[in-house]
Amino acid sequence: MRWKITEAQVEPVRQLVRSGCCNCSDGNCLLLDDGEAQTCVQLICSRGIYCRYFRDRVLPAEKELYNEIIKQNKEDH
Ligand code: SF4
């Protein structure tokens, strides 16, 4: 399930992708690389958390942002 993010969270999420995801190289995703460079899906998404790796392995390190996103998605249901 995709977690929704607010407009204000888009840039902090993108910054975290660039600084915290070890698969992010110049805006491309090494995990998705199949011989051709593939743009990081999380960098081009502005409505939610689409990358499971990012959600499970990177986002939790940024506790405040992580808790905020979890909380607002629980409230949606
Ligand atoms: S798609 Fe996910 S794993 Fe790949 S670089 Fe982006 S955040 Fe990291």
Per-domain residue ranges for the chain? 3-66
Query: Model confidence at 6, in pLDDT bands (50, 70, 90)?
Result: very high
Pocket flag, ligand 1, residue 41 (CB < 6 Å): yes
Each residue of 64-76: pLDDT tens digit?
A: 999 999 999 998 6
Pocket flag, ligand 1, residue 49 (CB < 6 Å): no
pTM of the model: 0.93
**Probe residue for ligand 1, chosen from 23, 43, 49, 56 as the CB with the greatest number of ligand atoms within 8 Å:** 23
Q: Specify burial of residue 71 (Cβ count, 10 A radius: 0-12, 13-18, 19+).
A: exposed
Cβ atoms of residues 4 and 76 within 8 Å: yes
20 C-alpha to center of ligand 1: Å? 10
